[in-house]
Amino acid sequence: MPDKLIEPRTLKGFRDSLPALAMPRERLIDAARRVFRAYGFAPIDTPALEYTEILTGKGGDESDKQMYRFHDHGGRDVALRFDLTVPFARFAAQHIDDLGVPFKRYHIAPVWRGENTQHGRYREFIQCDFDTIGTGPGAADLETMLVVHDIMVALGFTRFSLQVNDRRILNGLLRQLGLDDRTAAVLRVLDKLRKAGPDKVEGELVEQVQVAPPTARELLASVQVQGDNDSILTDLEARLGQDPGASAGLALMRQLVEAFAAAGIPDERLHLDPAIARGLDYYTGPVCETFLADLPGIGSVCSGGRYDNLAGLYTRQHLPGVGASLGLDRLMAAMEELGLLGTARTPAEVLVVLFSAAATPHYVTAARRLRQAGLGVELYPEASAVGRQLKYADRKGFALAVIGGPAELARGVWQVKNLVSGHSAEVPDAELVDRVRAALTATADAAGAAGGARP
């Protein structure tokens, strides 16, 4: 033993994921993957470390400040990726001749930002990104928003809203107000509107970006226009219809509204918000953020947009792109706060109780039969008191326990105990698989009828 033990601790802004958190996270990732693949997106991966020049200056000054940057053993200036979009732009520029265009990818991996920690936000977190590269504004943008919607539905949410806008609309407003010489700075401040409120944003526009107070107030009034999507579009078309860029953005937003309506999606799940800017500098067209109706304060749980010039930093080939990112950890925090993660701490649903060490082959065989039928089954690893094993099963959140003492094994039967209701049934060995499967189905249906873990 060492003279002094090392204190087990995690860095500030980082965390361990216990099974109670890691299991629902895997379920969310699996649901997202199914949606990505349904739309034709293929998986890729990129290194966690990039040359610093690949990452700096792509997400704005704030992203550069938050970057984990250092020199490796070879003296190379490297940094941990702060998102998955910038590495993808580099990836596409490097491999596009082999990939061909348009190219659709998804990427699920950790990223790192040395920012101040807050509820649902950590310095290491997983992003679930999907992108289409090699095509301009149009159908790819509409499908990107539909993917976001379908992911939320696949995760079980019904009460959410996609807040959408187009950077070209905002750029048109800034040109009209004579602010187009400081677009990036204005949009980064405007991106804080939902969180900071209009008074603070107006103050920052005046003090930090040197916008005249009347102009700042007019800008805020223009982006906070109220009404349904059609009335907002009509208002903006009357104001910005002569601006070619803004007009193109408005036309695409109208197509988006029409596409959602044609798909039968409830009106409240899509809202045109002229204030949505997305703070990163590389966005050039449609942008979106997704908010939960029951927990709006946690912020956007899925965001993205169009970036037509990002890959141009690495290649002379024009590679416009559009995509979005699911904020997995923020969404997990929201579900945890809403009590939607469930209590299971094991991926298996059935525990086979090891009643007698001498009969271990019988228990191993029963567990294997159930697994071969596609069920998740854990065999308790040692013979101990049944009460202790059932207490373990309750703590881990198993749905069923399969119990066979010497008397049951001699008669060729098992006791199948429902650990939720406490009800037990004697089951012939030949019917074990079918009866366990039926019991699990009944338990799942009962949980669904009672509300279950559906957001």
Q: Which residue has the higher pLDDT, 222 or 402?
A: 402
Question: Length of the chain, please?
Answer: 455
Q: Which amino acid does the sequence have at 112?
A: W
pLDDT of 120 reads 60
Indicate whether 447 pLDDT > 70.
no
- Three-class DSSP category at 399: coil
The larger pLDDT score, comparing residue 91 to residue 342, is at 91
Overall average pLDDT of the 333-361 stretch: 87
Closest C-alpha among 375, 383, 376 to residue 403: 383
pLDDT, position 192: 85
Q: What does the alpha-carbon distance between residue 288 and residue 304 come to, in Å, rounded to a whole number?
A: 6
Q: Is pLDDT above 70 for 451?
A: no
| Dist. CA 432–CA 177, nearest whole Å | 74
pLDDT tens for 295-336 read: 988 888 999 999 888 788 788 888 899 999 998 888 888 888
Q: Is the pLDDT of residue 455 over 50?
A: no
Q: Which H helix or E strand runs over 129? A: strand 124-133
Per-residue pLDDT tens digits for 399-429: 999 999 999 999 999 999 999 899 999 999 9
Q: Which domains does the chain have, with CATH numbers?
A: 19-337 (3.30.930.10), 350-449 (3.40.50.800)
Judge contact between 184 and 172, C-beta under 8 A. Answer: no
Q: Has residue 109 got a pLDDT over 70?
A: yes
Cis peptide before 102 (omega within 30 of 0): yes
pLDDT of residue 454: 37
C-alpha to C-alpha distance for 170 and 185, rounded to whole angstroms: 13
Say how far apart CA 416 and CA 343 lie, in whole Å.
21
Confidence of residue 453 (pLDDT cuts 50, 70, 90): very low
Q: Per-residue pLDDT tens for 114-125?
A: 988 776 678 998
- Dig out the tokens for 105 from the structure: 């990818």
pLDDT number for residue 449 = 54
